[in-house]
Amino acid sequence: MSVLKTILIVLLVYYGLKLLIRFATPYILRYISKKAGQQFEQFFGNPARPDAHQQKEGQVTIDNIPSQNKSSGKKVGEYVDFEEVE
């Protein structure tokens, strides 16, 4: 009788959890998506510079000026001419 009672309790717990998960999943997913949306908005919603909204339309600003130390005369490697052998 105790074996039958144990099996019945295990099955009841299994199906109870299965039913609970089925009903709780939409709420859990909604909560996770809301939190992810808040983090996305916090990360991408705020401007990098607070004065970005104060500029006039069409005004251009340069934040980073690249260095002019580029030399095009660098020796890249050894060039070898190949001949076709028949």
For 24-71, how does the pLDDT look when each residue is reduced to its tens digit (9 = 90+)? 999 999 999 999 999 998 888 765 555 545 677 888 887 888 777 766
- In a domain, residue 14? The reply is yes
Report how far Cα 46 is from the mean position of its chain's Cα atoms.
17
Number of domains in the chain: 1
33 assigned to some structural domain: yes
In a domain, 85, yes or no: no
Per the domain annotation, does 75 fall within a domain?
A: no
25 within some domain: yes
Do residues 47 and 53 make contact, with C-beta atoms less than 8 angstroms apart? yes
Cα 61 to the center of its chain, rounded Å: 29
**Rounded Cα–Cα distance for residues 20 and 14 (Å):** 10
Query: Residue 59: its pLDDT value, please?
Result: 86
Residue 12 lies in a domain: yes
- Encode 48-59: b = buried (16+ Cβ within 10 Å), e = exposed: eeeeeeeeeeee
Q: Would residue 34 count as lying in a domain?
A: yes
Give pLDDT, residue 57.
Answer: 83
Q: Which domain holds residue 15?
A: 2-44
Q: Tokens in use for 84? A: 């076709």
| Per-residue model confidence (pLDDT) at position 30 | 95
Q: Is 61 within 8 Å of 55 (Cβ atoms)?
A: yes
